[in-house]
Chains A and B, each alone.
Chain A
Amino acid sequence: MQTRFSYGGDEHIFAEVAESMSLEAFFKGLFVTNAVRDARIKGVTEICPANASYQVKFDPDQIKPDDLLAELKQLDSASETSAPVIKTRIIEIPVLYNDPWTHETLMRFRERHQDPNGTDLEYAARINGLDGVDAFIKAHSSAPWFVSMVGFVAGLPFLYQMVERQRQIQAPKYLRPRTDTPKLTVGHGGCFSCIYSVRGAGGYQMFGITPMPIYDPNQKISYLRDFMCLFKPGDIVKWKPIDRPAYDAAVADVDAGRFAPIIRDVSFSLTEFNNDIDAYNRKLEGVLHGN
């Protein structure tokens, strides 16, 4: 992988690690941006890792653009040798798939969809060669997902499925973006799933909804008191399919301030993961449930 650098005007350096998404490209971006943070380079104001790229914002009155570029290139090539192991967290996200709210919304915007006569779940199941909605939900929720980027809007995680490429779920975005998406919708576009942190426009297929808030600008939710956004790049997510009574109970728990998400510390090795993906994922799930 040879990183491609470009200036984004006079205040940004944009670095594309690879054109295609892969865990290798994501890890490299994560390592380089960590190294940039640790280097405490004068004049650097924002350090943003993304899926297979990263971006550094800077003040050219404090550091010459060419000097910063040279420093970034050095950190970028030094990270080639980093062992791909990270200390991170695994977080369980309950999901009510096929819920009434995203269903109402997807029906409202049906004329903007590839398949006006079905639902997003039926469409995604079909184009991924899966036998119906239940098989699709199983495929979506059985393996964990990496938070490979946080952004678009406040606290929104992009999630990359931790399976071999041929098993990865893919789906195009809507033909034309919707003007509305329920808050906490679990969506999917390209090879990425996401959780919409706020209500608003969106173009991803809609599969379900989580009762668990991931962004709270008022910082009243117990686990968002320290910081208003739950996710960081490098977090691992495991979906847990739930039914309507469990969803309603979780919403009531959130409202009453007693909802406690399952979040565990874990270390992740890309090499071990690649050696036996299914076995490694079972191990991760074991960590989540305290085995």
Chain B
Amino acid sequence: MAIKVLKPGLATTVQDLGRPGYYHIGIPLSGGMDRHALAAANLLVGNEEGAAVLEAVFMGPELEFTDDALVAITGAELPPKLDGEPRETWTSFKVKRGQKLSFDFLKQGARGYIAIAGGIDVPLVLGSRSTYALGALGGFKGRKLEAGDELPIGKASAPVKDGRIVAKELRGLPAGMPTELRVMPGLYWHRITETAGVGFFGDTWKVAPEADRIGYRFKGGKPLEFVPREPPFGAGSDPSNITDACYPYGSIQVPGGTEPIVLHRDAVSGGGYFMVGTVIAADMDLIGQLQPNTPVKFVKVGMDEALAARKSRAGLLGKLRGALA
């Protein structure tokens, strides 16, 4: 069985839970930006949690099914339509052979996850089906979908019934405005002045238009002032330069001290800009659901709070598994 791509959407890619183990040669994890929503979509249709799905950003694709299937859409509020008839998000539903799945305009969030029972059956590359578009690696031909593509679908394991719903409190989406992203200061935090550090956590930032799978840029806060120094050999003359180093996932670099960039699943693995700290792992999914112009506050936390948040996020996934078992 296969699905035909009639319209590709804006930047729809095949993603699973990613490709660990190759960051040391510049190949990033990739995988769904909102991993919780990806797992939810899979569990709804009876897939393994990490099966390959479609990640659609801002705008859904239009797909035609060559066989009957069970489908679920999670993540962003990207309302599905089956042959033009509305369907619910976060709810599994049946699709008949020949039917067309399309989407209404995005209402909330940024990325929708489209799971199909059996999973998208593109070849495994370095252990994952995720697309890393910058390196033309994995996914469907190493790129975002185009009209005319035919995506192979795997064989569904045990059939599960349709109409199952993920309750609101198990969806793990950003709550409230501005969205709070918890940050552990560190890395090259000492490069900025105390006043700049206070400003960084005090200011309200907004998601800039340059926000993609590599990283999210933020604007609107005060520029950061640097502690004066002699540039170290190899670093470069700008006060925001460092001798090119590794970039953690979630790390916040601020080129020129003006617009922070949080690196995400398709992160560049290293470079020559200093970083003020790192968004904790538990809050990375939230970033994947932020639209441009969304107000954001960075909230200072320590390791203990980061680990507690991690436990709480894992607990949410545990409840989701229980609910869909």
Contact = CB atoms under 8 A, between A and B. Distances in A.
Do the two chains bind? yes
Contacts of A158: 244
Contact of A9 (B232, B243, B270, B279): B279
A53 B245 contact: yes
A245 B34 CA distance: 50
A169 to B, nearest CB: 12
A198 B134 contact: yes
Interface in B159-205: 184, 186-187
Given A10-B281, A190-B272, A46 B24 contact: yes
A51 B25 contact: no
B142 interface: yes
A153 B26 contact: yes
A192 B26 CA distance: 17
A10 B248 contact: no
A45 B21 contact: yes
B268 A10 contact: no
A76 interface: no
Contacts of B298: none
A78 to B, nearest CB: 21
Contacts of A57: 23, 248-249
B275 to A, nearest CB: 8
B269 interface: yes
B251 interface: yes
Interface residues of B, number: 51
A151 B21 contact: no
Interface in A13-55: 14, 16, 18-22, 45-55
Interface in A135-157: 149-156
Given A19-B235, A165-B233, A200-B134, A190 B241 contact: yes
A52 to B, nearest CB: 5
A233 B270 CA distance: 14
A154 B248 contact: no
B234 interface: yes
B245 A50 contact: yes
Given A51-B244, A149-B270, A154 B135 contact: yes
Interface of A: 6-12, 14, 16, 18-22, 45-55, 57, 60-61, 65, 149-156, 158, 165, 172-173, 189-192, 197-198, 200, 215, 217, 228-229, 231-233
9 contacts: A7-B278, A14-B245, A18-B232, A51-B245, A57-B248, A153-B135, A158-B244, A192-B234, A217-B136
